[in-house]
């Protein structure tokens, strides 16, 4: 059973920081690129960041570039998203997802339940 469990969300004031974690199981974790996505109520889901299987390539949405950092620990089947300088517009449910390494999060195969991030002004 494939699982991708996001955790670490919460309520934070604007300008603060949070670290999200994604725990993966049920598939060969280090053969997949892992991405973070987010969706706010009434809005389209958007890609936030993606990290390759080797940690040699990362991508970020323009809206978070310079503030968020994605990383992974293949030995632990974990991916992290360090979020700094948070803004109210970052408020959303954040999801992690796994994609074939050559697709780099364009078409994830596996999705998990999200974790709520709320940034107050």
Q: What is the predicted pLDDT for the residue at 94?
A: 98
**What are the strands, taking DSSP E only, across 11-77?**
11-13, 18-25, 33-39, 46-51, 58-60, 68-73
Beta-carbon contacts of residue 103 (< 8 Å; ≥ 6 apart): 33
> Length of the chain, please?
121
Residue 104: predicted pLDDT = 82
Q: What's the CA gap between 114 and 39, in Å, rounded?
A: 9
**Higher pLDDT among residues 101 and 90, named by residue:** 90
- Mean pLDDT, the chain, whole residue set: 95
The pLDDT, as a whole number, for residue 25 is: 96
% of the chain at pLDDT higher than 90:
91
Q: What pLDDT does residue 53 have?
A: 86
pLDDT at residue 55 greater than cutoff 90: no
């Amino acid at each position: 059973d494939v699982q991708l469990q996001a955790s670490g969300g919460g309520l934070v004031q604007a300008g603060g920081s949070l670290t999200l974690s994604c725990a993966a199981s049920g598939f060969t974790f280090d053969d997949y690129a892992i991405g973070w996505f987010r969706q706010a109520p009434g809005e389209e889901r958007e890609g936030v960041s993606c990290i390759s299987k080797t940690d040699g390539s990362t991508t970020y949405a323009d809206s978070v570039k310079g503030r968020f950092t994605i990383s992974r620990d293949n030995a632990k089947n974990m991916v992290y998203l360090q979020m700094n300088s948070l803004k109210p517009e970052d408020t959303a449910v954040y999801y992690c997802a796994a994609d074939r390494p050559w697709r780099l999060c364009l078409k994830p195969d596996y999705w998990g339940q999200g974790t709520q991030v709320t940034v107050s002004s």
